[in-house]
Amino acid sequence: MSAVDPIIHRPVLAGLRTGRNRLYLTCLAFAALMVAVALAGPWLAPADPNASDLGAALTGPSPAHPLGADAAGRDTLSRLLAGASASLLGPIAVVLFSTVAGVLVGVTAGWFGGWPDTFLSRAAELLLAFPALLVAIVFVSLYGTGLAAPVIALSLAYLPYVSRLARNLTLSERRLPYLAAYRVQGFSGLAICVRHLIPNIAPVVLAQSSVNFGYALLDLSALSYLGLGVPPLTPTWGSMINDGQSALLQGHPLSAILPCAAIVLTVVAFNVVAEHWADRVSRRRG
Amino acid sequence: MIARFVLRRLLELALTLVAASFLVFGAVHLAPGRPETFLLGGRAASPEALAAIRAQYHLDDPFFLQYLKWAGGVLTGDLGRSMQYRSPVLGLIEARLPSTLLLITMAAVLVVVLGIGLGRLAAVGGPATDSAVLVGTSVALGTPSFVAAIGLLWVFSVQLGWFPTIGSGDGLPDMIYHLTLPSLALALYWTGWLARVTRGAMKDQLALEHVTVARSRGLPERLVIRRHVLRNALGPVATVSGLTLSGLVISTVLVEAAFGIGGLGALLESSVQVKDFPVVQAITLLVVALFTVTNLIVDLCYPLVDPRVRLGVRSDAG
Amino acid sequence: MSVLRVNGLRMWLPGTARPVLDGVELSVGEGETVALVGESGSGKSLTSRAVLGLLPDGASVEGGVEVAGQDVLALAPSRLRELRRRTVAMIFQDPRAGINPLRRIGDFLVEGRPGSQDRARELVAAVGLEARVLRQYPHQLSGGMLQRVMIAGALMGDPKLLLCDEPTTALDVTTQAEIVALLAEVRRRYGTGLLFVTHDLELAAAIADRVYVMYAGRIAESGPAATLFTRPRHPYTAALLAATPRVETRQARLATIPGQPPDLRTELTGCAFAPRCPRATPQCHDDPPEPLVYGEGIVACHHSIPGGERA
């Protein structure tokens, strides 16, 4: 049986892989495009995203406003492009911070074991009891508007997921003989961790972190939909939906539906890419 | 043995809640600015009035004493006084609970029924069905509840006019009618999520030898799927119920905002906007308690789902 | 009259260059014990599973598998289920993985067979277990006890043919002997035909009336257990026997068979064993050998060992 299994499953998986590859590549291209737009958004916008052209308020697509204008007469295309910045750069920052901090905490816990491990793992468990969106809402209410508070809050909320993974990987990596060999040769723990252990666990951790991007985008756009954590005059997709909702209820859906589509497409594209990476990493590790 | 285990888990639960409440209270305490300025809402006040307010909210006590007073109050059912409404927090929460509770219940039923159903369909329905469910759940997992709300409002309220756009209604049938779209919006993301969890757990089971053995013994496929695949997949599905429930609860903030429902989520949102900290503290603690208590219940009931897991015995049974 | 007759069974899996089973011929008579011996990957498990109609995903088959006169590969699903319930049963390699861990042993035995509680109690006693195991869960029993449960479960439908796929490999040595003894007892008591799939030559010699030796999806040699092991005709059988560690003749060094079994991604032109065979000639690399009858045995080899001797 055991000898037969790989023969049985390989071709099926191969078929699946090629079938999904096209989807993966499409999503990768879309995600890359979105990141480019996020970086260049403010310069791409054909008009000032806050300039109000009241004559065009709630009009549909026209040469002046390719995707129409919202209730305040602001150009929807320009706001979408400008909104990409705040909508995407925030999640990227969250992924960055939570990964760095999570690896730090997780590797420390796993490497030292004993009470540091107990303390850090318990603390992480405690954090897991707080839904990320709740932490973000509380932080914004406490520490005010701006992207910093929600980004820090979400980094903190996602930290346990990364640190738990990093800790378990460290524990299993520590059992491998090659690490013991380095120790015998007199390398310091820090040197081993930085030069061997962290590079070895990095692919798995990064795959998990890339999955977190989608969550962060959802949570941050939820905050901006509620009008929390966004500096005034900075359009984000979430705040655009909030602005456009009453127009939608009166029968002018474009200014609310378009940012909705932007969120869904972006998150789905990033999720497909992240899942593909996680899949590939887990397959490579056996 | 079992009593001791339950006792230990209850103690752990209490410690978690104490630690969580400490975190919540500490975070609020560390917030920049003085609470009384929020209370006054920017109005000028005489020093006497300020002192009176500080005394009313115990703001002059040392931090730890403030925490103890607050925590003691929480234990006796006193969640503090709302600064915004100048009334007890507990009363505010109680008044908003029915609609939110109904909303969450309706969404939870949808999530469980549709999530497990779709997951099962994906796992055993063949490659085409599997792909269809995967695509569907991918979209669901990219659609936050407020986006779903906008979509549902546009189609069913604005275009078709079947459902109201705002409010939570009076009386149970009317409430259910009003909360239909909100509960769908709330359920969409978590349905996709639970379908993925169910599908994964069932696929794991399908790859196991005991399923092959069951088939080799001439059991009807229907029975194999129900008794050996779905049944065995319920354990992993049950372990995520705490996460699902607290996720549903916190998402009510968005759905209630989108549909103009005056529930718990809306209370949290408005309290955050005006920095009404006692309310924020109370609701935060409530959500954390809900998560930990649900997890405790799942843990205590797990031996019913999986006989390999005995209470008090750590096991790697999967 | 045979309970099992496999005629020219060929099986292809997607992504392989040659059939994983290539013209397998074998039969099991009523109440007979037959061993199917081979290295892992030789196709012996695929063959035994095909007898139950359990085919891997994407497999295509050719040839016939007849169990008690019914063609397994052509049966409608409901007829196939009925066959599995009543006529042919299988015991798997790892009993710990074979029983749903969340269900009681009693449930396992009677499921799909309403009203069979008495039969379950009777069989549990017959395989040497106490009645209380019926109310226990798999994790509460040892591997050997679970294999007894599997055997009891296989006997529930009073099958004519019992397929044993390496039933002792996952057990410790003392338990192995008990299970083998139990299977011999089952055969004696119920007159069940046994197809015993194993990589263990000694075990095959001990339990079987007849033996089939399989290599790379083909039957290399078959014959009565006694003559096949004392006078192997196929060089592969001889090499296998030489590579089996023995207690009685203490060898200085274990003989091994040089090389690897052929990869499934390469096509075979001649004899599958030719690259590893000491007797191979250019003919062996070009022409697949036809099976030839020698007395009671059959051997597929251009240069079979005359009269049979230990290599």
By residue count, chain A amounts to: 286
Nearest in space to B283 (alpha carbons), one of B310, B315, B256: B256
Query: What's the pLDDT score for residue A9?
Result: 35
Q: CB A11 to CB C40 under 8 A?
A: no
B293 backbone dihedrals φ, ψ, rounded to 5°: -65, -40
In this predicted model, which residue has the larger pLDDT, A275 or B165? A275
Residues in A touching B254 (Cβ below 8 Å): 222, 225-226
Using CA atoms, how far residue A270 sits from A27, B147, B283, in Å, is 7, 17, 32
Q: Please, which chains are in contact with C (at least 3 CB pairs closer than 8 A)?
A: A, B
Q: What is the mean pLDDT of residues A109-136?
A: 86
Q: Using the predicted structure, report yes or no on whether residue A2 has a pLDDT greater than 60.
A: no
**Candidate from A63-67, A264-268, B269-273 with smallest mean pLDDT:** A63-67
**Which residues have a Cβ under 8 Å from the Cβ of A20 and sit 6 or more positions away?**
A276
Instruction: Classify the phi-psi angles of C166: left when phi > 0, otherwise alpha if psi is within -120 to 50, otherwise beta.
Output: left
Q: For residue A71, give how far its alpha carbon lies from the nearest alpha carbon of chain B (Å).
A: 16
Looking at CA atoms only, how far is residue C39 from chain A in angstroms?
10
- The confidence band for C255, taking pLDDT boundaries of 50, 70 and 90, is low
pLDDT by 10s per residue, chain B, length 318: 677 888 888 888 888 888 888 888 888 777 766 666 666 655 666 777 777 777 776 777 777 888 888 888 888 888 877 877 878 888 888 888 888 899 999 999 999 999 999 999 999 888 888 888 988 998 999 899 999 988 888 888 777 878 777 777 777 787 888 888 899 999 999 999 999 999 999 998 998 889 999 999 989 888 999 999 999 898 888 888 888 888 898 899 899 888 888 888 888 888 888 778 888 888 888 888 888 888 888 888 888 888 887 655 544 433
pLDDT in tens, C260-291: 777 777 777 888 888 888 888 888 888 888 88
CATH H superfamily, domain A14-48+73-285 = MetI-like (1.10.3720.10)
Mutate to test the interface with C, among A2, A5, A8, A18 (most CBs of C within 10 A): A8
Q: Are B104 and B290 spatial neighbours (Cβ–Cβ below 8 Å)?
A: no
pLDDT band at A101 (very low <50, low <70, confident <90, very high): very high
Report yes or no: A256 at the B interface, CB cutoff 8 Å: yes
Q: How far apart are CA C241 and CA B240, in angstroms?
A: 54
Mean pLDDT of A42-64: 71
Q: Which two tokens stand for residue A30?
A: 């879309």
Other C-beta atoms lying within 10 Å of the C-beta of residue B163: 19
Res. A232: pLDDT tops 80: no
Instruction: Compute how many other C-beta atoms are within 10 angstroms of the C-beta atom of residue B298.
Output: 16
Q: Average the pLDDT over each of A47-61, B195-209, C131-145 and give the range with the smallest value.
A: A47-61
State the pLDDT at residue B111: 94
What mean pLDDT is predicted for residues A22-29? 87
Average pLDDT over residues C203-217: 88
Closest C-alpha among B252, B281, B274 to residue B265? B252
pLDDT in tens, C157-175: 888 899 998 888 878 888 8
Rounded CA separation C98/B82 (Å): 60
ipTM for the complex shown: 0.85
Question: Does residue A193 surpass a pLDDT of 80?
Answer: no
Substitution target in B124, B130, B208, B216 with the highest count of C β-carbons within 10 Å is B216
Average pLDDT of the residues in A158-169 = 89
A154-173 exposure pattern, b = at least 16 Cβ within 10 A, e = fewer: bbbbbbbbbbbbbbebbeeb
Q: Do A249 and B165 touch (CB under 8 A)?
A: yes
Minimal CA separation from C16 to chain A, in Å: 8
pLDDT of residue B315: 42
Per-residue DSSP letter, B18? H
Q: Do A129 and B139 touch (CB under 8 A)?
A: no
Which residue of A lies nearest to B136 if distances are taken between CA atoms? A268
Partners of B32 on chain A (C-beta within 8 Å) are 142-144
Q: Nearest-CA residue of chain C relative to A3?
A: C41
Contacts of B58 (CB under 8 A, 6+ apart): B65, B66, B69, B70
Q: C-alpha angle A71/A76/A82, rounded to 5°?
A: 125
Report pLDDT for B117. Answer: 94
- Residue type present at position A72: A
Whether C85 and B218 lie within 8 Å, measured CB to CB: yes
Q: Chain B within 8 Å of A141 (Cβ-Cβ)?
A: yes
Mutate to test the interface with C, among A2, A7, A16 (most CBs of C within 10 A): A7
* CATH for C2-246+259-299 (3.40.718.10, 3.40.50.300, 1.10.10.10, 3.40.1390.40): 3.40.50.300
